[in-house]
């Protein structure tokens, strides 16, 4: 019998002794493993090394004859738009390509809302006493940090298998005009890996909100980051908002951070024509143009390495890591009834739930034995997981051999803390 709940106290005590011994053995190994962030591994980054060669001296002209070494081209190279628009499943006319970080674009967009307001805003957000956002949880800690930074009050919304709890969303936005937005990771979400269903996308697009300037921040960071041959399908939110009569409701974000180089890639934003014109005016004040040489480098590289094929190579490198995490969890914890975890079709994370009240202690024990995980609570607004149970596992960066050891240790920590809980009951 494997289920911890069906074991007598003596057996639980025996297991506890055995696991404590295994934990001490791990401690003597002096491990130093960091699994706290979802970063590409060096081997994944190597896939794009051709980019160092893709731009030769004398090869700096864009297809329309402009010199990419010089100022200008505020909304990005048209030839790069042609390559990247299908990645976000938008028309290249709906796209601005600028900068190296989609998170920075999101941050700046929210700053613009506070300073000037959106085209649908009666007032800049800074003139209002309170701004609230809906935050699907578990979610991405950096989204929550941006909200905290701008003093946006965060309202947690349960993220289910089909997306945020839409009954909750619909009822809240219909009653509260201070609710101005929702930040979503709609495909292979960070950290649970779920993709919003078509029904969820259509309901979000058609939300009847009290705030006239309610915005959907659609962070499609993992749009093409499939792990299987049967990728998830995400309905087109821009089309859906246009059909629902709210054409200016959504801003879509993307980047090549986990396609080419993290931090040295290309970031982009897609939205309605009116929003694009509003944004371009502000970008023109902010800068005389983005780094077009990096854009040109990406154009040349992706011409020879189509994104879909390139992403298959990424998948081949990271799939075995996801499989190792899942196999170790199954082997160590399967049917013990003390943890559940996700098995995503793409993205960068596996989300694990321990028994209520255990996550912080598990992360602490793992740390004391040399394995750093994302802080427990980080996947919730203000760093507070109300059930203290969610742990984000980021399998991509560590080498396979280290990952296996780290996961074994994590599974031991989960069992120890669960047993402590059960023995106290
Ligand atoms: N959005 C999500 C959901 C992410 O998980 C990440 C990185 O982990 C980012 C954005 C960061 O993107 P960028 O490098 O383009 O700023």
Number of domains in the chain: 2
Asked whether 257 lines ligand 1 (CB < 6 A), one says: yes
Other CB atoms within 10 Å distance of the CB of residue 327:
14
272 and 314, same domain (yes or no): no
pLDDT category, 332, cuts 50, 70, 90? very high
User: Is 56 part of a structural domain of the chain?
Assistant: no
* 137 within some domain: yes
Q: Does residue 190 line the site of ligand 1, with CB under 6 A?
A: yes
- Which helix (H) or strand (E) segment is 207 a member of? none
Residue 397, ligand 1, Cβ within 6 A: no
Distance 259 CA to ligand 1 centre (A): 12
**pLDDT band of 58, cuts 50, 70, 90:** confident
Report d(CA 349, CA 141) in Å as an integer. Answer: 13
Q: Does 231 fall in a domain?
A: yes
Residues 248 and 296 in one domain: yes
278 occurs within a structural domain: yes
Decide: 38 in ligand 1 pocket, CB within 6 A.
yes
Q: Which of 257, 263, 349 to mutate to test the pocket of ligand 1 (most atoms within 8 A of CB)?
A: 257
* pTM of the full structure: 0.97
Name the residue of 139, 187, 193, 255 to mutate for ligand 1: max ligand atoms within 8 A of Cβ. 255
- Nearest-angstrom CA–CA distance, 341 and 22: 23
Q: Which domain holds residue 250?
A: 61-305
- Whether residue 301 sits in one domain with residue 316: no
Compute the C-alpha angle 190/110/210, nearest 5°: 90
The pLDDT tens digits of the residues spanning 359-381 come to: 999 999 999 999 999 999 999 99
Nearest CA to ligand 1 atom 1: 221
Which runs of E-coded beta strand occur in 298-412?
A: 339-341, 350-354, 371-373, 390-393
CATH of the domain at 196: 3.40.640.10
Same domain, 356 and 245: no
**Of the residues 97, 102, 137, 195, which should be mutated to test ligand 1's pocket, given the most ligand atoms within 8 Å of the CB?**
102
Residue 34 phi, psi (nearest 5): -115, 110
Per residue in 116-132, pLDDT tens?
Answer: 999 999 999 999 999 99
Instruction: Please tell me whether residues 270 and 241 are part of one structural domain.
Output: yes
Q: Which of 305, 338, 365 is the last residue of a domain?
A: 305
Residues 230 and 356 in one domain: no
Residue 55 counted as domain residue: no
> Can you give the pLDDT at residue 45?
98
Which domain-ending residue is among 305, 325, 348?
305
Closest CA to 164 of 146, 185, 142, 145: 185
Same domain, 297 and 317: no
Is the separation of the CB atoms in 395 and 227 below 8 Å? no
């Amino acid at each position: 019998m494997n289920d911890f709940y069906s074991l007598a106290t003596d057996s639980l005590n025996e297991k506890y002794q055995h696991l404590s011994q295994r934990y001490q053995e791990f401690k003597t190994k002096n491990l130093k493993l960091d699994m706290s962030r979802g970063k590409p591994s060096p081997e994944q980054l190597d896939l794009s090394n051709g980019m160092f060669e893709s731009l030769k001296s004398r090869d700096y002209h864009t297809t329309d004859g402009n010199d990419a070494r010089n100022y200008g081209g505020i909304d990005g190279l048209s030839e790069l738009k042609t390559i990247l628009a299908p990645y976000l499943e938008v028309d290249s006319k709906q796209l601005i390509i600028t900068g190296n970080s989609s998170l920075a674009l999101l941050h700046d967009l929210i700053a613009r809302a506070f300073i000037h307001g959106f085209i649908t805003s009666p007032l800049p957000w800074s003139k209002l006493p309170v701004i609230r956002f809906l935050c699907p949880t578990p979610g991405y800690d950096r989204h929550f940090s941006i909200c905290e930074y701008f003093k946006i009050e965060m309202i947690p919304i349960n993220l289910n298998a089909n997306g945020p709890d839409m009954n909750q969303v619909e009822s809240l936005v219909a009653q509260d005009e201070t609710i101005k937005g929702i930040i979503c990771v709609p495909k292979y979400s960070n950290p649970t890996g779920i993709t919003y269903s078509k029904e969820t996308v259509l309901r979000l697009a058609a939300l009847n909100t009290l705030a006239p300037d309610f915005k959907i921040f659609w962070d499609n960071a993992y749009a093409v980051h499939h792990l299987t041959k049967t990728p998830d399908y995400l309905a087109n939110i821009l089309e859906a908002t246009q059909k629902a009569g709210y054409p200016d409701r959504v801003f879509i974000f993307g980047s090549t951070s986990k396609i080419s180089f993290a931090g040295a890639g290309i970031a982009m934003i897609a939205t309605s024509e009116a929003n694009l014109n509003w944004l371009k005016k502000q970008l023109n004040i902010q800068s005389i143009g983005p780094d077009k040489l990096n854009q040109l480098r990406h154009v040349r590289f992706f011409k020879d390495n189509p994104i879909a094929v390139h992403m298959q190579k990424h998948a081949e490198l990271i799939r075995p890591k996801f499989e190792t995490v899942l196999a170790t969890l199954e082997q160590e914890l399967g049917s013990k009834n003390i943890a559940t975890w996700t098995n995503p079709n793409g993205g960068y994370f596996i989300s694990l739930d321990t028994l209520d009240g255990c996550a912080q202690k598990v992360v602490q024990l793992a740390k004391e034995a040399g394995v750093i995980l994302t802080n427990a609570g980080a996947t919730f607004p203000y760093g507070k997981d109300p059930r203290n149970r969610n742990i984000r596992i980021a399998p991509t960066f560590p080498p396979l051999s280290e990952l296996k050891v780290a996961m074994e240790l994590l599974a031991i920590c989960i069992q120890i803390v669960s047993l402590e809980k059960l023995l106290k009951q």
